[in-house]
Amino acid sequence: MVESDSKKTFRENVESYIDQAIDELNISEDISKIVKACRSVIQIKFPIKIKGKTEIIYGWRAIHSTHRLPSKGGLRYSQNVNQDEIEALSALMTFKSCIVDVPFGGAKGGLKIDPNKYSEEELEFITKKFTRELTRRGSLSPSRDVPAPDVGTSQREMAWIVDAYKSLHPEDINYAAVVTGKPLEHGGIRGRLQATGRGVHQSLKEFFRHNDELKKYNINKNFEDQIVTVQGFGNVGLNTCRALTEDGIKIVCVSEKEGMIFNEKGININNLIQFKEDNGSITGFPDGTFDKDPFNSLFIKSDILIPAALENAIVLDNVKKVNSKLIVEAANGPISFRANKELIKRNIPILPDIYANAGGVAVSYFEWIRNISHIRLGRMNRRYEENRGRDIVNVINQISDKKISQKNVETIVYGAKEEDIVNSGLEDTMRIAFQEIKDLKNKHKLSDYRTAAYGIAIKKLEKSYLELGL
Ligand code: GLU
């Protein structure tokens, strides 16, 4: 009889992962206490009047760490938002930033609302009011705390936050850096919208470059032959599917809130994206069988399972049904601590959330840099690079009797655009981070990649806290 873990909260699960890393790496217990403590949590209850009725909106912003500033993390709109969840997510943000080496502390915020219940104008009103409440309390500024989109929010909400913040701080020349994940017209960066999904894809590609690791788990080394199932088709799930499809990977199952689509031959992802755009949901997609229970997507037989929805999807009660050889956590906290232990016993490797989905915050860092430096990446050197390429082609043509093909000329005479630079930075980030995780795991013979990832983050925090003083 397996013990149920449904009583363990998300925050307690994160704490158990911290304990495991502290224990396996022999880090001092004092560091564990420091790392677990969320530095501050603001709870705000503000009234709004909508359709003649007064409602109280509950919101939180948790700042887990300020060892680097600003603190960074998304803003979630969901009926299930609560303080425990926001604190857990803020801790994950601290660890993520450490792992992908961006100089941010960790934070997370949320409003306990069902965004589908409100009109666009009402959501704008609620978002701007929340922004004012946070700004008034000294949270929220380009140098202190910088939100980004998360579940239930998007570029649209970020634009509203910029607008509200700017009206309160017209003197702040860096106002656009108060949030990341903005629309391009308001200081966003090309590639941020797709960044988390692309980062998940990069994490997988990097894993498949390490034959020694694949062997330990009996995983077929050909990335292109993998069969994938994805739980969740929001921004992260969708862009993960898109990136995998560009690599020719077969995705047999995709789910979202209303149910799942299964097609043994592989789902045409571009058609599915178009279908969702046209119909607002994947329900009724003709090329596959539909199952009303989206959770079944977690148990489809596949090589790679990608949970890309919410926390605690795989728990002790259902972990036995997982039928994949590798799991990549595109969502935050999709596997409970105890379920994780079972998966380790079954020798199923997991690329953990704090690494696999950290592409989002990495590209947020690039956006923030763009905003505070007030210049588009590549603007200063794109044409210079292009001209250098042209000079090289001319020299080769002068000294050689062979002609360079037009295709090669185009490749050489090319200056990197903003999106190229962002994607190159993202790829580099994800590659280096995995190598560090792998090295630490092997050096200390740790249980799994997650323990190693937590270990890297905790060791960095330990160093920073000890150097700065408590
Ligand atoms: N929602 C993103 C995450 O969970 C936000 C990260 C950011 O601040 O860009 O990683």
What is the residue with the minimal CA distance to atom 2 of ligand 1? Answer: 74
Q: For the chain, which ranges sit under pLDDT 50?
A: 1-4
Q: Which atom of ligand 1 is nearest to the CA of 72?
A: 8
**What domains appear along the chain, each with residue ranges and CATH number?**
38-187 (3.40.50.10860), 195-359 (3.40.50.720)
How much is the pLDDT for 5? 62
Closest by CA position to 205, among listed 217, 192, 222, 193: 222
Q: Which atom of ligand 1 is nearest to the CA of 89?
A: 4
Q: Which atom of ligand 1 is nearest to the CA of 364?
A: 9
The Å distance, Cα 212 to ligand 1 centre, comes to: 31
Angle (CA) 118-40-25 rounded to 5° is: 115
pTM attached to this predicted model: 0.96
d(CA 206, CA 438): 11
Dihedral (CA of 450, 451, 455, 461) sign: positive
The Å distance, Cα 90 to ligand 1 centre, comes to: 10
In Å, what is the CA distance from 52 to each residue of 48, 55, 79, 113, 117? Answer: 10, 10, 22, 18, 15
Give percent helix, percent strand, percent coil of the chain, each to the nearest 5: 50, 15, 35
- The one-letter amino acid code at 185 reads E
Q: Which atom of ligand 1 is nearest to the CA of 358?
A: 10
The Å distance, Cα 83 to ligand 1 centre, comes to: 17
The Å distance, Cα 153 to ligand 1 centre, comes to: 11
How much is the pLDDT for 2? 40
What is the residue with the minimal CA distance to atom 3 of ligand 1? Answer: 74
With a Cβ cut-off of 6 Å, ligand 1 is lined by 72-74, 148, 150, 180, 332, 357, 360-361, 364
- Helix, strand, or coil (residue 59): strand
Which tokens belong to 300?
Answer: 């489809």
Tens digit of each residue's pLDDT (9 = 90 or more) over 314-347: 999 999 999 999 999 999 999 999 999 999 999 9
How much is the pLDDT for 1? 35
> Which of 81, 364, 369 to mutate to test ligand 1, by most ligand atoms within 8 A of the CB atom?
364
Cα-Cα end-to-end distance for the chain: 45
> Which of 71, 72, 93 to mutate to test ligand 1, by most ligand atoms within 8 A of the CB atom?
93
Tens digit of each residue's pLDDT (9 = 90 or more) over 131-182: 999 999 988 999 999 999 999 999 999 999 999 999 999 999 999 999 999 9
How much is the pLDDT for 403? 87
What is the residue with the minimal CA distance to atom 9 of ligand 1? Answer: 361
How much is the pLDDT for 231? 98
The Å distance, Cα 217 to ligand 1 centre, comes to: 30
> What are the catalytic residues?
108
How much is the pLDDT for 466? 82
Cis peptide before 334 (omega within 30 of 0): no
